[in-house]
Structure 1
Amino acid sequence: MKKSDTFTRLAVRVMLILAAAGVIIPALPADIIKSQNYTLNIMPVAEDIDYAWGFDFLPDGQILLTQKNGRMFRIDTKTGSKTDIREVPFVAYRSQGGLLDVLVHPDFARNRVIFITYSEPVTEDSAQTAVMRAVLDRDRLTEKKCKTDGRALPEIYSYGHRNPQGMTVHPQTGEIWSAEHGAMGGDEINIIRAGVNYGWPVISYGLNYNGTKIGEGTEKTGIAQPLYYWDPSVAPSGMTFYSGRLFPEWKGNLLAGSLKFGLIIRLITDNGKISGEERLSLSQYGRIRDVKEAPDGSVMFITDQPDSALYRITPAKEKN
């Protein structure tokens, strides 16, 4: 870690301690980067997070955030302080498994419901994916419901997916968009429709890790083509459509994280198509795990590493 990074982290911790004591302190200077349309401020909101995986916003502006090791926090976005959420389900924390994403119900203010995905232990050496519905009672999960018997459900909507890492709903059309990892190349963006086969492992724009062809090539009758794909791979992660007021030039665009290169990729969308992209290089912060629009129109992202952090992006006022 560079000395400047170490100083910044130390300064943030000192400021949080002073803020908790009621001391009025000046704002910490933000990092500044350039994009095609804006000069951007990047400011840490919360640090000392161990492999962050997902986050979502509560109606009061606080954030629920998951760590892959099975911990969940409520984060105060004004101070960066973290409060543990109790009675989170036990997870199989190994390799890519653990506590994964969290979603706050749209009617949370009334029902207090959240949804979480995680790796459910089956035996000492095996696990399966689980989705749980729970009620957040202050800082404790209650009324937890989960189906883990492994049976196929009638709700299965589509198939032929490989390692989906991000999913979001288009704010106007209600369509579900997903980001999926290929093998060696062939990462995809897809619009998910009922009953559609998205190809894996029959077709792919990537190759096997030994360089050989996957399945039957890149096209086959009756199998959907990706809306957009990357070759070489970028390892896309969490994503969101931007609809806020702070970045009007980004309105309607899809913002996707990149684990491999530490990017936020702005995908320019038009009538259900992707016409181009801009890559915002944030590799100095680490692997980008998830990206979301905050209620105030800023953009927030988390990183995926032992010293993860939650960051906020806002427009900078350029000096004359």
Structure 2
Amino acid sequence: MNKKNGRFYGALTGLLLIVSLAAGTLAETPPVETRRANTDYQPAFAGQTRAPGMKTNETYRVDILAQDLDKPWALAALPDGRLAITEKDGTMRLYRTDGALSGKIVGFPQVESGGQGGLLDLLPAQDFQASRILYFSLAEKTAEGSLTAVGRGRLSDDETRIEDFRVLYRAYPYYNVGAHFGSRLAWGKDGSLFVSTGDRQSAGTRAMAQDPSSGYGKIIRLSPEGQAETYSLGHRNVQGMAVHPLTQELWASEMGPRGGDEINLILPGKNYGWPVISYGNEYSGRRIGDGLTRLEGMEQPVYYWDPVLAPSGMSFYASEAISEWQYDLFVGGLAGQHISRLKIRDGRVIGEERLLENENQRFRDLAEGLDGALYAVTDGGRLYRIGP
């Protein structure tokens, strides 16, 4: 990627950030989180929260490629090396390999762009090179209210619009609160498409996360034939999903309330507990429900944060370009204003590192590029490259 439009950060020259820090033995290092927790809940097992801190030993660099995106929400690498980026108000951009940013690409249905809504995630079809098809999630706006919808359309030959957009799935019912849409997308190993939905952030709707007949608070599997089924339930607001490059397991990041942000390994048919169990409290400080953190028949998070990270998009790092990052999970933090790098072994988090925590940015989404770098977009309109 051409970096002529980006700024370079760092302590060495004020323009370039080079990171090369010695990593100690993880079991001997303190956690990166030092603030007091919001709750007095105890983890269910060692390492479920506040994992030992770690630092990257290899050298990498951080570049800002663009700073004028309009409320970007998601990005995805295309097969030719370009990046496709959604903008919340209902447009898409392409970041080209020569460093140029396209104009606004239109052609989407009307979106509920207020609050947490908008044009949200995107994924290229697995045959994108031939079909030019892209899949999108969005907060669909109607006279009845809004909901999470998934659709697909074709990128026009002149790359100015999305043609023949068609909605494939709607997470009913409609509701008039512009929050907790979920909306992250991920491809399954069999060609199925996973989409997350939120509980819509209302005392009157959160219980629907436990209702199998409701579209709220679920991870939905859309088969290659277009049939929708509930894959897992009991979710508050999953804004990150990624498939492990080796195991093909589906992982998700979930926003908790006041404390209790989660990383979960998603298994078919499992119940992830919301709002019956949680490691967080209400924003008022009151317990949620009966104040339970575990209950038979409900899954424990692999990891949780308290205070919150406000985890959004995430990506496993598959490249060998930075070898000590390989297969680590990178999670964008909104309230935390950094990227969390998690080292996972045998289904447990054994180390955590904070990246870019001095940038003062809300990291909305992450994706690995074809060049072995991670790319990130922020609510402030920036596009970052993080890599060799």
Give the TM bin, normalised by the shorter chain: 0.7 to 0.9
Q: How does 1:108-119 map to 2 (within 5 A)?
A: 108-119=128-139
* Residue in structure 2 matched with residue 313 of structure 1 by the alignment: 386
Closer/same/farther in 2, CA of residues 74 and 281 from structure 1, 3 Å limit: closer
Cα deviation 1:215-240 (Å, max 9, x = unaligned):
23101111111111111111111111
| Deviation for aligned residue 1:154 | 4.9
In structure 2, the residue matched to 1:276 is 351
The aligned runs of 1:63-142 (5 Å cut-off) are 63-123=83-143, 126-138=145-157, 139=159, 140-142=161-163
How far is the alpha carbon of 1:12 from its aligned partner? 3.7
What's the counterpart of residue 306 of structure 2?
231
Helix, strand or coil at the partner of 1:109? helix
Q: How do 1:151-170 residues align onto structure 2 when only pairs under 5 Å count?
A: 154-170=228-244
Aligned AA for 2:271? Answer: N
Taking the TM superposition and a 5 Å limit, the aligned residue runs for 1:1-320 are 12=5, 29-34=15-20, 35-123=55-143, 126-138=145-157, 139=159, 140-146=161-167, 147-148=169-170, 150=172, 154-216=228-290, 217-305=292-380, 308-315=381-388
Q: Distance in 2 between matches of 1:51 and 1:299?
A: 19
CA RMSD of superposed structures (Å): 2.3
Q: 1:21 — aligned with what?
A: none
Q: Tell me the distance in 2 between the aligned counterparts of 1:149 and 1:266.
A: 31
Structure 1 residues 171, 149: closer, same or farther in 2, change over 3 A? closer
Q: Aligned residue pairs: how many?
A: 290
- Percent identity over the alignment is 42
Query: What is the distance in 2 between the residues matched to 1:154 and 1:31?
Result: 45
Which residue matches 2:10?
none
Q: Which deviations, in whole Å up to 9, do the C-alpha atoms of 1:33-77 show, x marking residues without a partner?
A: 454323432112222112110011111111110111111111214
Per-residue CA deviations over 1:139-159 (Å, capped at 9, x if unaligned) read 221232214483757511111
Classify 1:154/1:53 alpha carbon distance in 2 versus 1 (closer, same or farther; 3 Å): closer
**Cα offset, 1:13, TM superposition:** 8.3
Matched with 2:23 is none
> What TM-score does the superposition give when structure 2 sets the normalisation length?
0.70
CA distance in 2, matches of 1:219, 1:261: 26
Q: Is the 8 A contact 1:298 1:312 kept in 2?
A: yes
Deviation at 1:112, TM superposition (A): 1.7
Q: Which runs of 4+ in 1 moved over 4 A?
A: 151-154
Question: Retained in 2: the 8 A contact 1:204–1:215?
Answer: no
Instruction: State the alpha-carbon separation in 2 of the partners of residues 62 and 77 from structure 1.
Output: 6
Moved more, 36-45 or 259-268: 36-45
Higher strand fraction: Structure 1 or Structure 2? 1
What SS does the aligned partner of 2:150 have?
strand
Q: Deviations over 1:274-313 (max 9, x none)?
A: 21211113342511111111111011111113xx111111
Q: Normalised by the size of structure 1, how large is the TM-score?
A: 0.84
Identify which range, 105-114 or 76-85, moves more after superposition: 76-85
Q: Which stretch shifts more, 240-249 or 28-37?
A: 28-37
Where does the alignment leave 5 or more consecutive residues of structure 2 unmatched?
Answer: 8-13, 21-54, 174-212, 214-226
